[in-house]
Chains A and B, each alone.
Chain A
């Protein structure tokens, strides 16, 4: 029995066809997708949000916007930081980041709120020199109220960790490490252009474990160009020997306008296999079986952990629906019913901070109550289910009333079970989980081509591209239940995410 089977045990009658006309791959969701540019800063913030109010729980995301190199199909924003760094960009950035952290924390809203989770991501969080990493961590603790049991994740790349940095992290408040491994095989890392060496990841994981640091999560990718089932099995075998308590798997995708897309389009590189084809399905099955055999549970879509090691960052962001303060270029925040984005220009960010201001570049309109409910639901479904009581405690209304039409369609297609205390994805619903999530998108967000012209970065651009389609492109007409089964086709530019903030 696999982890998939634990989600629902009913059989799937494929002769009926597929529940949707096109399968959507969006392992990471941002909602609402559409945002628009504002010349924002302190003035906008203070005139739209009561920053003097008593704070509540929130998640703090700190963005380190640098990478050493750019992976070939990376859809994220990253500013390349030369190893020589002759212009001292890292120092300038860290200085500005610290000022920015202090400035946000000076508002009662964030000074009195309790930080439930801290995440240093990027870019590459681990790229900072140890002394700078220490300054950032110390500033977080000196300026915010951090919950005693808060999880504090440092995301990064094994290549960045020397003995000094490992020693520091182990002794610091950082209590979780997230490594972008992608593969343990040199030939695959070269194909995707990862900055680290094949044996770096295993070496660094062991060095952390030897110092007693266990809470390590790693990302693996499957179906990269040239990836075979045998290579994938080798990756999973290495994984099984490392005894890490958490891992995620991501389907590799070719993003438009990346060098990987150019290489493929010019015939210089083989296209990845069809994600609906037998090899990719076998890869997924293999991952589920390895996970099962080594005591992992798939507690949210494509996230596997051993007991007690669920990502708390995802928990607070997605399951509990907590506000997020994202600081640094390329970060997104969500609080008081607004999504706010800080654009990716590192130098502009530094300049703005040095001018005693904030860089707020894009916002969503204030989310009406309905959209906030949708936002909660699309995130909660990453955990396969929505509990009525929790929903009621947050919004004061009944989930089954608020989304009666959507639930009727999903149940008719066999994608959810409606239970007494919750709805839950069926096995078919898990296979089509992104389409299921799209059922909860607000009608106003479909066919939104205007947002394509707004500044978007990281996966928001991918979300906006998805939302630029009409609803029926992904979901069909509301009265239709089944569609002709998908014919496997070549891989196309579709979203792919590892970790981002909201």
Chain B
């Protein structure tokens, strides 16, 4: 037992000067006063260094745990946010692409639905605004020359929420799509929440799924709609409800590369057809594909025909370009340009054999269409009529 005079008080301890002249830290007890003389015991003495270390540790621990908690909470909320797609936009050109966007019009996920789409790297689009995201996607497609031959874009849009007002969001999407694909014909379909899941289970894009639901054709065609060319689909659904079509505003930019490629295709016309068939066969692994590949070749034509008939506004333009262009530049640019684009297409996917195969195959497949249009037109029309009848 010691007698001590309290010299100083702090929160957790007091400094006492005992009657031997030793200064000691003692535990704080209530009703202490500076100058008070008290009795204290060995148990009351606080080990100075230990308490200091302890408090220091304590501070770090508290701070660390709070920081960790914040980190946890925020990451948790972030992932929660990311998971919630607000709108789904599917683009079918040839690669089928599905974009998921959140309520702030930011792209949260972009994925390819078919094989061509899966071979494109969309990782850098994630996090962009939906309009710039679509723009970037188009740039990628142009880079890979998918848009050289495909002038039809099938757009499927659906919102995951049904009770909120999405009209302004939808307008933004429409504007973004129209602004981006201003050189292509756009077919726009609105789908609903339920159909997102259904399309996913079937493994086809939303636009294709919706188109499949809307059209009234035989079961066979329906089953193949997941692989059918876009032109065929757009032609089938153009008059349906919920479908909006915008024609290309300026096709010259778009058509120019097409004409460049044409001669090449022309030369190899029979082999490419075979290629297209075999490729589509390998893609689907189903023998049924032949009718499908036949159908696209006639459908684009019928589409063009109908467009000229239905859309009185710009038929001349369409037709002119389609018919006139091939002839004029073909002669000039046949050989020099002919080899270059093919080389380029091959160069795109040297690292991966399948990529190379697919891209070229899809291209050739699509390239055949405009090619076919010109010389085979009447023939195919008749075929078309036959099949329809």
Chain A bound to chain B: no
Q: Which residues of B contact A (CB under 8 A)?
A: none
Q: Which residues of A contact B (CB under 8 A)?
A: none
